[in-house]
């Protein structure tokens, strides 16, 4: 008894390209798991032979570095794959994934995933396309982190949540100030100060974790000039 991937409304772009047989192979070899906000989905330094497919929810990918310093690599929004690089590239996880909202993930065995890649070029192409876009985003972020100042990076973070993650100018931050600092290589104090500053300057309306963008043009300017 497996899952009916073909009727799952969260089916990925790549899965839609599978034939019936491949689809049922996938359905018979995956398991859906639910995670609460704060739950660890997979952990750095542990062994894994699964690819995750994030069906719903929001996840942070993070890596513990020197002196235990935590760095958030990215915020992953459903639908997307989780852990393709670390599962295919290494047997031991190179980073962790933690739910920052209630989340559901389908785990697919790596062997099955590899068989799909080897047997279906369209599927492989979709995966490559996905990973290329991902890598370009990381190159850009890498550049920004080096070249922008903290204000610009905080502005970027707000814009990312508004434009890409929540698709609304009014949302609740799923991260603490400390986590935002871990995301942009800053300190919790700086993030706190910059957010208050944006609030006082009427660029955003800030109430704890609640953010409403009041002056989008200015925010974009800060992002571009910062």
- The torsion region of residue 116 among left (phi > 0), alpha (psi -120 to 50) and beta comes to alpha
Under the phi-then-psi rule, with left for phi > 0, alpha for psi from -120 to 50, and beta for the rest, what region is 132?
Answer: alpha
Q: Nearest approach, Cβ of 110 to DNA (angstroms)?
A: 33
Query: What is the maximum alpha-carbon separation in the chain?
Result: 59
Residue placing its CB nearer to DNA in the complex, 69 or 138: 69
* Whole-angstrom Cα Rg for the chain: 19
Which 3 state secondary structure label does DSSP give 102?
Answer: coil
Q: How far is the CB of 26 from DNA (least distance, A)?
A: 37
Q: CB of 210: closest distance to DNA in angstroms?
A: 11
Q: CB 38 → DNA: shortest distance, Å? A: 9
Give the residue among 80, 56, 184 at the shortest CA–CA distance from 134: 80
Nearer CB in complex with DNA: 97/179: 179
Residue 60 or 177: which CB sits closer to DNA?
177
The CB-of-175 to DNA minimum distance in angstroms stands at 8
| Residue placing its CB nearer to DNA in the complex, 30 or 153 | 153
Residue 115 vs 188, nearer CB to DNA: 188
Question: For DNA, which is the closer residue by CB, 46 or 196?
Answer: 196
Q: Please, which residues have CB within 8 angstroms of residue 86's CB and are 6 or more apart in sequence?
A: 48, 93, 94, 95
In the complex, which residues of this chain contact DNA (CB under 7 A)? 149-151, 176-178, 185-190, 192-193, 195-196, 206, 208-209
Q: Cα–Cα distance between 189 and 18 in angstroms, integer?
A: 49
222, 155 Cβ separation under 8 angstroms: yes
Closest contact distance (angstroms) between CB of 14 and DNA is: 35
Cβ contacts of 34 within 8 Å, gap of 6 or more = 102, 103, 104
């Amino acid at each position: 008894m497996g899952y009916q991937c073909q009727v799952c409304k969260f089916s990925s772009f790549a899965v839609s390209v599978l034939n019936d047989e491949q689809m049922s192979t996938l359905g018979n070899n995956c398991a859906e798991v639910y995670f609460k906000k704060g739950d660890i989905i997979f952990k750095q330094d542990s062994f894994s032979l699964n690819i995750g497919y994030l069906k719903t929810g929001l996840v942070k990918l993070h890596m513990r570095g020197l002196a235990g310093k935590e760095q958030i690599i990215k915020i992953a929004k459903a639908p997307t794959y989780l852990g393709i690089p670390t599962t295919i590239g290494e047997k031991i996880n190179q980073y962790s994934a933690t739910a920052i909202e209630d989340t559901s993930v389908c785990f697919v065995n790596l062997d099955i995933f590899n068989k799909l890649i080897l047997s279906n070029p369209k599927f492989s192409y979709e995966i490559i396309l996905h990973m290329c876009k991902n890598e370009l985003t990381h190159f850009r972020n890498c550049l920004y982190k080096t070249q922008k100042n903290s204000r610009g990076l905080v502005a970027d973070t707000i814009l990312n949540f508004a434009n890409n993650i929540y698709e609304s100018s009014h949302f609740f931050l799923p991260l603490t100030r400390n986590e935002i600092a871990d995301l942009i290589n800053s300190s919790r104090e700086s993030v706190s100060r910059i957010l208050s500053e944006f609030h006082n300057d009427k660029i955003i309306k800030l109430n704890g974790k609640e953010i409403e963008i009041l002056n989008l043009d200015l925010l974009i300017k800060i992002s571009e000039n910062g």
